Structure 1
């Protein structure tokens, strides 16, 4: 049975952009596992027998796993013969550290550029649900959060400074090859990249070069997915 991964879809179901789902996609690719991505919208019913209400959700045989971190732990435990995601306790700690920086810095740096653009590509039934959820979270309207291209790029670049310093001396956060720490950051940036009408990431920066490097891995899977800019 093919593994299924549920991801957040736009009105155009070809565009799927959940930041946490992208962490799981990259983990599956790194493991070399065959999988199918299933589009899910905010207005769709909860997923699976557990009634999971957010994505990603992984369905593998009789197992239904929600939350990208739990999915990563499951994949390493369930498929130990495949390339590891975290190299034991030290790798888990490194990945959790990167996730904490993403939560404290990268998401806040990306949200002004991305969240209103993400709203705009949703189907009409999902839009009010998304708006209500996010405006309650941020305490203001989506329009008030949104910034233009120049400020969007600058805000994200400022949030990525610590990663630029690290990636100036190594091809990946995991060293010579990617680990889940890389996928944790990549998921956030791929979300921004997919929903934005412009390229938010500076390709000339060390993070930008790392991002392109990961996009080109696994037969260019992440490079070739539909985005707002290449899909009509």
Structure 2
């Protein structure tokens, strides 16, 4: 989500879909500053619901894990030099089941603490670096993403490169590709997304992401 979108909304709704041949991720979310608009110093409330489906190796066979999740958290944003940094904490609840009988024993319901990081650094002119990350305790299932973006004059769109990685108990992957952010569709709608190559469990595949951002005045 681009800095211009944050600056214009008093709260932000998001809905997105992330697809690769070995699984998909769909989500809806809401971000709300506790006081006023998004700015350098503020607490931001984060509410999230998602659906995650992915393949898992179980000995000589592959099964699909189907999960539903929800998260709530608070992030505190503050300046560090010219950068804007956010540190957050909250909880994630997730229910997992497998597509068929398996020797894996990590299905069922889990409620775990979650830590988050957001780092946004202007690099001069229209270029910025954005890094986000999160981890779940105690097993430290983690996600990280870095994007180098250039703001164009076409619908305020930012374009650039993206790399990300996931490390979990039964799932790990890394990605590299292109990204776009903050594409102005209307006064209240923005579009973000990207595509590229994903490497997971020795398999290389294409992925695609699309996210709709809605700016609210409340």
Q: Please indicate, yes or no, whether the TM-score normalized by the shorter chain is above 0.5.
A: no
Task: Indicate the structure whose relative CO is greater, using CA pairs within 8 Å and at least 6 residues apart.
Answer: 1
Please report the TM-score for the alignment, with normalisation by the length of structure 2.
0.31
Q: Which has the higher helix share?
A: 1
Larger Rg: 2
Please report the TM-score for the alignment, with normalisation by the length of structure 1.
0.29
